[in-house]
């Protein structure tokens, strides 16, 4: 009877850890449910066209283009894409929530089974994960990040089975190509931790790169180049990438927990996870980081570092573990107190913008803009992508994705009958007629050049102001003059 009671007690405790992991994942994500990014709507437009029979196209009547970095994502969304774009976005957010919830529950279960670390250290690690706003936000952004995070987390949790790690980590690279070094290093690391011989280590590391290579091959066959179009549209800047990577290691919080090099060295699996994370952060810095909020590119590795920290805690001094945990918790609280969760208002603002734009764009045949995600949700008109994310001929132009050298002649050659320009500080003088005197952001120089081009002024006239949010920002809609 005592043995039976002990077994039941252990099962109940394990379930408690599983539920704790589930809550640490789902509750913060639900709090951030309103968060999204404009780019989430780009693969949704591809998915809707794919589901509707138009094929792999951003513009239904245009050519097939490689405008989605996570190659399988539109295909995964296609079964959900038989609805309005915003409805599909909600479904994608729910898909992300479910995927991350499952991974969070599995991580909690692993915490319950990792009995070498004190319970308070395991509970503290889950609490730090719960405070990681980037993880919560991107779980429900509607992008592929949540599924990539889930796959990466499950890969880490299978660390005792290198072949499974290689498969799961490899699948992660199909959604986030910059994670190829992470997948390779993690697979090799867990194989070394398992005592495998060098030939088998090399084989499992190579297996992790197979899905990445297959995606590159598909791109070569379909579009003539192995790399995603975004790599040309958004060329990397190492200085910016280093700043991004450094900030990401702080705001995602969990790298702070795993910053215990002496203890990590004594835990082979933890060492494999941390070295793979370093490889990933290095790759992120090399590609120049990302413009999206909440350190999106660092999010997939964040939950795995929770496991690494707990495994390292088995070999660390309790005081050191406690200090790292308290520091990470304090950073998380400070970031939230300073407005870290304001991003949950973005979705409602974006939905209101789409609703306001739909009647204004109802008769538009072709619209040019820099932010094309929400526009693709507001109209089925062709979109001239001034950032080049979905347009190879613009992607190859000099400049970053908000500073492409698109001049008036190139723009007019595309024959747009509408042009949208973003005003971060609102209409100057509160008048549409002052649209050329707007204070444009320094990072959106393509709009600055077009707004100050007299050729554009002769061809277009302002017709509407489309507000975005409650802080004065918005878009001026220009239409071609009669």
Q: Which residues pair with 419 in a beta bridge?
A: 368, 478
Is the pLDDT at 3 greater than 80? The verdict is no
Is the pLDDT at 409 greater than 50? The verdict is yes
Using alpha carbons, select from 275, 335, 266 the residue that is nearest to residue 301: 275
pLDDT band for position 16 (50/70/90)? very high
Mean pLDDT (the chain) is 93
pLDDT band for position 8 (50/70/90)? very low
Q: How do residues 319-360 score in pLDDT, each as one tens digit?
A: 999 999 999 999 999 999 999 999 999 999 999 999 999 999
Using alpha carbons, select from 140, 182, 177, 178 the residue that is nearest to residue 165: 182
Using alpha carbons, select from 196, 211, 166, 169 the residue that is nearest to residue 72: 211
Collapsed DSSP state (helix, strand, coil) of residue 383: strand
Q: Which tokens hold the place of 394?
A: 């613009």
Using alpha carbons, select from 154, 109, 288, 328 the residue that is nearest to residue 146: 154
Q: Which tokens hold the place of 4?
A: 């039976």
Question: Residue 66, exposed/middle/buried by CB under 10 A (0-12, 13-18, 19+)?
Answer: buried
- Name the DSSP letter for residue 251: H
> What's the pLDDT score for residue 97?
98
Q: Which residues contact 29 (CB under 8 A, 6 or more apart)?
A: 97, 100, 101, 136, 139, 140
Round to whole Å and give the CA distance between 193 and 248: 27
Q: Which tokens hold the place of 35?
A: 């968060």
Q: Which tokens hold the place of 287?
A: 């590609």
Count of CB atoms situated within 10 Å of the CB of 280? 26
The pTM assigned to this predicted structure is: 0.94
Using alpha carbons, select from 103, 182, 210 the residue that is nearest to residue 147: 103
Contact call for residues 209 and 229 (beta carbons, < 8 A): no
Q: Which tokens hold the place of 299?
A: 């999010």
Contact call for residues 402 and 385 (beta carbons, < 8 A): no
Is the pLDDT at 198 greater than 70? The verdict is yes
Q: How do residues 47-80 score in pLDDT, each as one tens digit?
A: 999 999 999 999 998 999 999 999 999 999 999 9
Round to whole Å and give the CA distance between 335 and 331: 6
pLDDT band for position 419 (50/70/90)? very high
What is the DSSP annotation of 269-298? HHHHHHHHHHHHHHHHHHTT--SSSS-GGG
Q: Which residues contact 9 (CB under 8 A, 6 or more apart)?
A: none
Using alpha carbons, select from 142, 150, 134, 200 the residue that is nearest to residue 340: 134
| Mean pLDDT within 446-463 | 92
> What's the pLDDT score for residue 441?
61
Looking at per-residue pLDDT, the higher value among 292 and 154 belongs to 154
Is the pLDDT at 9 greater than 60? The verdict is no
Q: How do residues 357-388 score in pLDDT, each as one tens digit?
A: 999 999 999 999 999 999 999 999 999 999 99
> What's the pLDDT score for residue 343?
93
Q: How do residues 131-162 score in pLDDT, each as one tens digit?
A: 999 999 999 999 999 999 999 999 999 999 99
Is the pLDDT at 5 greater than 50? The verdict is no
> What's the pLDDT score for residue 7?
44
| Mean pLDDT within 10-25 | 86
Looking at per-residue pLDDT, the higher value among 40 and 426 belongs to 40
Angle separating helix axes 198-208 and 180-193, nearest 10 degrees: 150
Round to whole Å and give the CA distance between 75 and 86: 17
Count of CB atoms situated within 10 Å of the CB of 402? 20
> What's the pLDDT score for residue 120?
95
Is the pLDDT at 212 greater than 80? The verdict is yes
Is the pLDDT at 107 greater than 60? The verdict is yes
Is the pLDDT at 438 greater than 90? The verdict is no
Looking at per-residue pLDDT, the higher value among 461 and 235 belongs to 461
Q: Which residue has the tokens 């929530």?
A: 97
| Mean pLDDT within 18-35 | 97
Please count the residues of the chain.
482
């Amino acid at each position: 009877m005592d043995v039976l009671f002990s077994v039941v007690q252990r099962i109940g405790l394990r379930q408690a850890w599983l539920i704790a992991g589930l809550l640490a994942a789902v509750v913060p994500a639900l709090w951030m449910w309103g968060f999204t990014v404009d780019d989430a709507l780009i693969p949704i437009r591809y998915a809707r066209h794919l589901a509707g029979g138009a094929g792999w196209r951003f513009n239904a009547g245009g050519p097939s283009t490689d405008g989605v970095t996570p190659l399988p994502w539109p295909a995964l969304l296609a079964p959900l894409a038989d609805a309005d774009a915003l409805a599909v976005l909600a479904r994608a957010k729910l898909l992300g929530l479910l995927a991350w919830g499952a991974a969070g529950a599995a991580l909690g279960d692993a915490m319950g089974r990792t009995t070498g670390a004190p319970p308070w250290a395991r509970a503290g690690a889950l609490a730090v994960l719960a405070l990681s706003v980037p993880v919560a936000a991107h779980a429900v952004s509607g992008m592929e990040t949540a599924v990539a995070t889930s796959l990466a987390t499950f890969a880490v949790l299978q660390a005792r089975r290198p072949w499974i790690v290689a498969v799961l980590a490899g699948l992660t690279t199909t959604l986030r190509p910059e994670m190829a070094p992470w997948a390779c290093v993690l697979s090799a690391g867990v194989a070394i931790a398992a005592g495998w011989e060098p030939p088998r280590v090399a084989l499992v590391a190579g297996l992790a790169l197979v899905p990445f290579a297959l995606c590159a091959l598909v791109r070569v066959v379909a579009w003539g180049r192995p790399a995603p179009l975004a790599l040309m549209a958004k060329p990397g800047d190492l200085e910016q990438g280093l700043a991004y990577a450094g900030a990401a290691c702080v705001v995602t919080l969990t790298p702070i927990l795993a910053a215990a090099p002496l203890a990590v060295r004594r835990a082979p699996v933890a060492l494999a996870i941390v070295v793979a994370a370093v490889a990933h952060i290095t790759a992120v810095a090399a590609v120049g980081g990302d413009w999206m909020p909440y350190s999106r590119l660092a999010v997939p590795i964040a939950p795995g570092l929770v496991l690494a920290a707990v495994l390292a805690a088995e070999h660390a001094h309790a005081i050191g573990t406690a200090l790292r945990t308290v520091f990470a918790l304090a950073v998380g609280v400070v970031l939230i107190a300073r407005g870290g969760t304001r991003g949950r208002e973005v979705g409602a603002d974006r939905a209101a913008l789409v609703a306001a734009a739909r009647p204004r764009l109802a008769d538009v045949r072709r619209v040019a803009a820099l932010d094309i995600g929400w526009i693709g949700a507001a109209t089925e008109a062709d979109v001239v992508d001034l950032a080049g994310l979905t347009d190879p001929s613009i992607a190859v132009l000099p400049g970053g994705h908000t500073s492409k050298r698109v001049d008036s002649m190139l723009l007019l050659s595309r024959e747009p009958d509408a042009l949208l320009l973003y005003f971060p500080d609102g209409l100057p003088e509160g008048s549409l007629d002052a649209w050329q005197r707007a204070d444009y952001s320094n990072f959106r120089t393509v709009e600055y050049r077009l707004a100050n081009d007299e050729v554009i002024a002769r061809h277009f006239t302002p017709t509407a102001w489309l507000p975005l949010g409650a802080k004065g920002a918005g878009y001026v809609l220009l239409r071609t003059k009669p």
